A and B are shown apart, each in its own frame.
Chain A
Amino acid sequence: MIPTATLPEIVLIFIVGLALAAALGRYMANVYQGGFSRWDPIAIPIERGLFALMGVDPKRAMGWREYLRGLLVTDAIAIGFVFLLLQDQHSLPWNSLNVPDMSWHLAFHTASAFGTNTDYQHYAPESQVSLFASLFGLQTLMFLSPATGLCTFVAFARGFARNDGKVGNYYSDLVRTFTRILIPLTVLGALAFILLGVPQTLTQAVAIAPLPFAGGGSEIIPLGPVAGWDSIEFLGTNGGGYFAANAAHPFQNPSASTNLVAILLMMAIPFGAPFAFARIVRRPGEVWPLIGTVLIVFLIGFGLFLFAAGSNTYLPASVDQGSGYFVGAESRFTISESALFQFTSVYSNTGATSMSLASLTPIAQTVLLFGMFLQATPGGDGIGFSMLLIYVVLAVFMGGLMVGRSPEYLGKKISMPQVKWAAAALLSHPFAILIPVAVTVVSGNVVPALGGYSPHGFTILLYEFTSEAANNGSGMAPIHDGTEFFNVVGALVMLAGRYFPILAMLAIAGSLSQQDSRPPGPGTLKTRTATFTVFLALFLIIVAGLLFLPVLALGPFSQIAAGG
């Protein structure tokens, strides 16, 4: 049952989110093209100083290998720094709760998770991360990882726009992403969360005496700079919670209004990216097939998800589900609001949770898994849209062969080098998911982690590695995954799921930027059409379906078939 009374609100919020994202996309294109902005009088002198400190000439464009090297060196140093920080947090300041050091494997998993924009948490933040490690370590990575994604995106876009063999200057792109996109927007978001009642304090916890008429309750309430964290968590499509309960926690998401702000922040950059792309390649009309494809998949998925999450037919009729199926959902949001948050979070690869994913119906779980199989509708900041371009490269190539047109996209010929890299990026995803799932099953790690074998347990296991490979970060309880095995394998899956596609994207960008742009001929495949839009959407769905249907059959589909 779809709760129809709340649909107008959902539609309105989605339209507002899209409009804001389109405006942001235009702004982002301006930032990356070095256009004028009202920030310039302040920003330019600061940036000039920063570039001097860094020893970077921001005007010097790099080839794709040098761009990739800068990106990898920066991320490696950052992840290494946080890896060490988390293992030494006990003796560092701002640790009034006496949080112990993390084990090496948990620190490895956590640093990789935040560095790769995954933010999968194998720990409870309340009791396992100090305020110091939280801000200097994790929050730093929450700014860096969306910026890394956006740099990949803009370099990829420039591959279509340039013909000098260069893809731009990594350090210039990263600094401008940070100072002109992430910082202004997170400050706005943080201000909104503060005004709407989200805590923001340096107090780490307050001791309380629970109400005398309460049979149980907290003796310690953990607190912290939650509003600021929230803002970059959602805008950066990070998704790591300040608290274990993440966006379901009343401090992180106290009301329906904060829930809506979070949705808008999660939509902003992923839905803005196609608009930015079309401007960077100087063909504004090309945004329509791209955003159209994303919308087709997103809206069909959301409709299914809302339908499947709204009620649970396994419960007896005496239990009233008139307001919705509230098991594992919070009562201060309507089911539609919870569902829009949860769906947007997973489809934008944010991975924050405002519902318990394990208690969702199998169809709803399948819909969420499908979004992580695709990674591109709209996907995480920068990377999601870059994944869509990977699909476009393959779809143009295949579509061109099917109708006998020469496969070109935006004036660049799509041939063997691009298709090889694109296929490799696409196929790396099932490898990163299915191999670890298989290894876990055959290595005897299922029983300790899940208590036994069941279709529901298999879904949980599949969800864990899918979420890590897609750099999503949402998780399904209960899985005992804080072990050395899950930490090490999970970290490797996240790193592979992040950096191999980035390598492929930059390699394609590099090869495209060496080509001269050619004017469209009579034999050119036309991409600015409704036909191509539908073709691309079907291409996404069919490819992901072919790759992952067998494994879905073992998990959620068996659950439906078994009815238990």
Chain B
Amino acid sequence: MDDQGLRSVPTTPPSRRAAGSRTPARPPVDTAEPAWKAVRSSVTLLVLIVLIGGYAYPMVATEVAQTLTPATAGGSLLQSPNGTYYGSTLLGQNVTSPCLFWLRPSIIDYQAFTGAGSEVPYGPTDPHLLNITTYYAHLYGLTNVSAPVDLFSASASGLDPAITPEAAFVQVPRVAQNTSLTEAWLTGFVQAHVNAELLGFIGPEYVNVLELDLDLESHLPSAGLGGGCGVG
């Protein structure tokens, strides 16, 4: 490549770099460096990018994050009084108790570590999509009402902790039936847990089901994390 570079120039013999470099009035002279110098420059450059982009930048960012926002920097983890972690407010879990609110179906059953393959694997016109939607409508006992599509369909991450407010309200009759709580009280309870739009126009209204259920649990007769369902 070096030789081609020299050959292509139809001008005076190539002068050395020091002589030719800063005199723009001269006709074009290709003064390409030898290849070994390019390798040396490239390697030095890469060492620099590894040290700054690969090491210094994430280290400094971590220091800053642990100082400014220690809780969220650590993954917004939920810790029980005895010190064990039982999840993150950002990650959904597959709630199955009939007296609590349920989340969306998950392709990976809310396993954060597998991660791979969380994407919805069927197309929009695939009969499987219709089947699975109907399956969940039956499972959730919601065949007679119009329910929002998010409650019956998987998210892209398989870890979505949120549902639309409508998907929470539609579950109120079931929760009321399985607990001693009234529908009116539960509706108000869900209402209080609706995350509003940011600044009034950014983001949807949604309910973080994990937070909703943790709070609801404390209102059930056998309160506490180990309690599960209350009075049937």
| Nearest Cβ on chain A to B97's Cβ, whole angstroms | 4
> Measured between alpha carbons, how far is A533 from B180 in the docked complex, in Å?
67
Partner of B130, one of A198, A316, A333, A358: A316
Closest chain A residue, CB of each to CB of B118: A245
Q: Does B94 contact A (CB under 8 A)?
A: yes
Query: 0/1 per residue, A412-451, Cβ < 8 Å to B?
Result: 0000000000000000000000000000000000000000
Binds A, one of B36-44, B171-179, B183-191: B36-44
Q: Does B198 contact A (CB under 8 A)?
A: yes
Structural contact, A199 and B75, CB atoms closer than 8 A: yes
Structural contact, B61 and A190, CB atoms closer than 8 A: yes
Partner of B17, one of A57, A125, A207, A326: A57
> Measured between alpha carbons, how far is A320 from B24 in the docked complex, in Å?
69
Q: A322-B166, A334-B204 are in contact. Are A54 and B41 (CB under 8 A)?
A: yes
> Measured between alpha carbons, how far is A456 from B42 in the docked complex, in Å?
44
Structural contact, B203 and A334, CB atoms closer than 8 A: yes
Partner of A202, one of B62, B76, B96: B62
Structural contact, B120 and A211, CB atoms closer than 8 A: no
Residues of chain A within 8 A (CB-CB) of B127 are: 564
Structural contact, A478 and B121, CB atoms closer than 8 A: yes
Q: A213-B100, A250-B157, A332-B203 are in contact. Are A327 and B38 (CB under 8 A)?
A: no
Structural contact, B1 and A478, CB atoms closer than 8 A: no
Query: 0/1 per residue, B19-39, Cβ < 8 Å to A?
Result: 001101000101111010111
> Measured between alpha carbons, how far is A77 from B44 in the docked complex, in Å?
11
Which chain A residues in 200-240 approach chain B with CB under 8 Å?
Answer: 200-203, 205-223, 225, 227-229, 232
Structural contact, A256 and B86, CB atoms closer than 8 A: no
Partner of B93, one of A66, A182, A217, A326: A217
Residues of chain B within 8 A (CB-CB) of A547 are: none
Query: 0/1 per residue, B86-98, Cβ < 8 Å to A?
Result: 1110111111110
Most buried by A among B50, B97, B133: B50
> Measured between alpha carbons, how far is A248 from B64 in the docked complex, in Å?
25
> Measured between alpha carbons, how far is A214 from B154 in the docked complex, in Å?
17
How many residues from B make CB contacts under 8 Å with A?
Answer: 122
Partner of B21, one of A59, A136, A355, A360: A59
Structural contact, A314 and B203, CB atoms closer than 8 A: no
Partner of A55, one of B40, B92, B137: B40
Q: A201-B73, A250-B91, A318-B146 are in contact. Are A65 and B122 (CB under 8 A)?
A: no
| Nearest Cβ on chain A to B194's Cβ, whole angstroms | 12
> Measured between alpha carbons, how far is A334 from B47 in the docked complex, in Å?
43
Structural contact, B203 and A218, CB atoms closer than 8 A: no
Q: Does B48 contact A (CB under 8 A)?
A: yes
> Measured between alpha carbons, how far is A202 from B73 in the docked complex, in Å?
10
Residues of chain A within 8 A (CB-CB) of B13 are: none
Structural contact, B73 and A194, CB atoms closer than 8 A: yes
Most buried by A among B65, B97, B160, B162: B65
Q: Does A183 contact B (CB under 8 A)?
A: yes
Partner of A328, one of B39, B54, B120, B164: B120
| Nearest Cβ on chain B to A331's Cβ, whole angstroms | 4
Q: A65-B4, A212-B228, A222-B113 are in contact. Are A322 and B45 (CB under 8 A)?
A: no
| Nearest Cβ on chain B to A315's Cβ, whole angstroms | 7
Structural contact, B94 and A214, CB atoms closer than 8 A: yes
| Nearest Cβ on chain A to B28's Cβ, whole angstroms | 3
Q: Which 8 A-B pairs have the closest CB atoms?
A: A256-B203, A165-B28, A124-B116, A215-B96, A248-B156, A200-B65, A217-B93, A143-B53
Task: Report A's interface with B, CB cutoff 8 A.
Answer: 8-9, 50, 53-57, 59-60, 62-63, 65-66, 68-70, 73-74, 77-78, 81, 123-127, 135-137, 139-140, 142-144, 164-166, 171, 174-175, 178, 182-183, 186-187, 190-191, 194-195, 197-203, 205-223, 225, 227-229, 232, 243-245, 248-251, 254-257, 259-260, 312, 314-323, 325-334, 337, 353-362, 456, 459, 477-478, 514, 559, 562-564
- Could you pull out 17 A-B pairs where Cβ atoms are within 8 angstroms? A54-B40, A59-B21, A69-B32, A74-B46, A139-B53, A164-B28, A165-B30, A197-B69, A208-B84, A209-B86, A218-B91, A221-B77, A221-B113, A228-B57, A325-B149, A355-B156, A361-B125
